[in-house]
Amino acid sequence: MVGVPVASPPGGAGAPREEAPRPPPPPAPRNGTSPKQGALTIVRRSSSRNKTESCSTPTDEQLDQLDLDTEHLPAVDTPDACDKAALRLRYLLRQLNRGEISAETLQKNLQYAAKVLEAVYIDETKDRRDAEQPRAQQTTLPMRRLRTPCWARCSVEKPNEAKPAVARQQSAPTLVFRRLADEDDELSEVQPDAVPPEVREWLASTFTRQLATSKRKSDEKPKFRSVAHAIRAGIFVDRIYRRVTSTALMQFPQDVVRVLKTLDEWSFDVFALHDAASGAPVKYLGYELLNRYGMIHKFKVPPTILENFLSRIEEGYCKFHNPYHNNLHAADVAQTVHYMLCQTGLMNWLSDLEIFATLVAAIVHDFEHTGTTNNFHVMSGSDTALLYNDRAVLENHHISAAFRLMRDEECNILQNLSRDEFREFRTLVIDMVLATDMSFHFQQLKNMRSLLSLAEPTVDKSKAVSLVLHCCDISHPAKYELTPGTVPGYLFEISYFKPKCNLRRLHSG
């Protein structure tokens, strides 16, 4: 037998070795990974048992009886291969210490052990990938789809403009297609396997002939056809409800419809909407946005209640004849928030309630603005400053006045929200409107920069949408050209005429 030169163990080759008591090997954290300390442990994978076992240390008698022949070894991807490989590795170590091993036998057995470890690693990697795949799918943001605009479903033709018959025939299919596309919402995409058993039973008992009291056998599964019919019936009932409610939607004049066709663009002309809506841009734009995002249907907001609410909000913006913080500014900010939601994909990250709160906060963020600054209220000792203790005076008033308006039954757009939904909605609106205070501007930027500089930043939704609303509130210089009669003209009036009027009123009082 040809021997290979090996290094002698510590203490010399002939030094006696005492067997010290060995502590039990620590359990392997995962299959295919070795523990940090302790004796060599090979994890055995078995299809019949869920738990992993570590191979016990073989005795000298077992090692003496071992045959190093590699012809009849089990396949490398079988559970027995781990045992065989572990036993052979220990035998090879003993033979290396003794210097009684041929190079050919050593090479073949090491190759077999390496293949076994590779098979375990590949199998374990596959299991880890399969375990991580559902988590990756859960983090994927669902794509939100906006509803058909109100004016596309129920636009009003002017009485003195009669369309030709050919034009009516050409436009009819488009209108029907839009309506059907709007009705095919998320309910039609429900997969039968995603429906909980309780919901299946309720749908089957409600929309089929099956009695609710009848009990199935324990091993009998609900039929796919009955569940599919039940889901289809639920969708049909929902469509009927939508058609009934859509008949009561607010009517849009043609001039307003023409302007709202560019609602999704950054260059949306809010001044043209103000003129087309006869000075009521918040009413039409707010109604359109809440419908486009499905908030009217999702939270069961009565159309007449919503129309009353928006009309009263419009009146509040015009209460003090403010040249800048008026209803035109409110419509501009609401449209900019809509642009940020739909064009950046932000709407896919937010829930329905968070989008509802964001849109309402944008609409009411300067409600009943007096046309003066917070500092003016504080220095003049106004009743509003005394009420809110000189802290974010105007912003607190905007929030308080808006929620006080929603306590009116004819303007309560939150009447069908649950208690928890109302609390979350109110908290979000308060946080967002308070963040429009310019005294918090640099602090918000500093906090967001610090957060984004972290290795793994976690963005709080409330702070994120608050910063978005604040940016939209001061975005007008990036949207309009510096032409007379637009934003610069209003700013000049605010900076020159308004302070003089306020000072004259203060000194005369």
Catalytic (active-site) positions:
325
- Residues whose CB falls within 8 Å of the CB of residue 504, separated by 6 or more in sequence, listed in order: none
The CA distance from 37 to 10, in Å, is: 20
Q: Which residue is associated with the tokens 């007379």?
A: 484
Query: How many Cα atoms within 13 Å fall on the side-chain side of residue 279?
Result: 4
440: which strand partners? Answer: none
The CA distance from 244 to 252, in Å, is: 18
Report phi then psi at 413, rounded to 5. Answer: -80, -5
Q: Which residue is associated with the tokens 């008026």?
A: 326
Distances in Å between the alpha carbon of 172 and those of 152, 166, 180?
A: 11, 10, 12
43: which strand partners? Answer: 54
Distances in Å between the alpha carbon of 131 and those of 27, 79, 126?
A: 21, 21, 9
DSSP summary character for residue 496:
I
The CA distance from 354 to 357, in Å, is: 5
The CA distance from 501 to 503, in Å, is: 6
Q: Which residue is associated with the tokens 């859960």?
A: 138
| Cβ 273 vs Cβ 331: under 8 Å | yes
The CA distance from 318 to 312, in Å, is: 10
| Cβ 52 vs Cβ 44: under 8 Å | yes
Which tokens in the block code for residue 439? 């005294």
CA quadruple 120, 122, 126, 132: dihedral, nearest 10: 90
The 10 Å Cβ neighbour count of residue 290 is: 26
Distances in Å between the alpha carbon of 137 and those of 132, 134, 142, 247?
A: 9, 5, 10, 39
- Residues whose CB falls within 8 Å of the CB of residue 485, separated by 6 or more in sequence, listed in order: none
